[in-house]
Amino acid sequence: MIEHLPQEEGTGLVLTPNRSLSWKGNLMIFGAAVLFFTVMISVMIVVGAWVIFPFAVLELTVLFFGLYLTSRKCQLQEVLYIIGDQLRLEKGRYTLENEWEMPRQYARVTLTAPRHPFTPPKLLLMYRDTEVPLGTFLNEEDTLTLIDLLESKGVRIDRHMRPDVDLIF
């Protein structure tokens, strides 16, 4: 997902993965699963099939950690500032973890066609010997929108196409 940040001097873009639910929503789904399993296991224990209980606990544990890891991965965020002659990319999960700054006239975005037609193209922000993946979590539509936005702001896009993949850029 791409959001615009209000900037006085230039452009700010916030890149985030598409999130269907917040952490609170995930906890509500987990609570519903616990409630369902509690009722189901209670019936099974009354019938005499108590052996199912440890497997249900194991299944709920795996579900919880799956929801947690997915929610954590969806908290990734990249902020790209295009201010004057500078490009600044900030990456992090809950706080700023990495930051790169480069001159806009010498920086470029390398666009590589995907290996499979259902995956989005890969973007690399490059300056001299620095290569930073850009928007790795974006879907194809958001990636194409980002490319158009960057081109409209004067960022050079180098396209590396594969002959066996038909994509319109």
pLDDT at 59: 95
pLDDT at 165: 47
Look at residue 143 and tell me whether its pLDDT is greater than 90: no
CB atoms within 10 A of CB 150: 23
How long a stretch of residues is the chain?
Answer: 169
- 128 vs 102, 109, 134, 167, CA distance in Å? 9, 12, 16, 28
pLDDT at 50: 87
pLDDT at 161: 64
pLDDT at 9: 82
Q: What is the mean pLDDT of residues 12-35?
A: 90
- How confident is the prediction for the chain on average, in pLDDT? 86
pLDDT at 35: 96
Confidence of residue 162 (pLDDT cuts 50, 70, 90): low
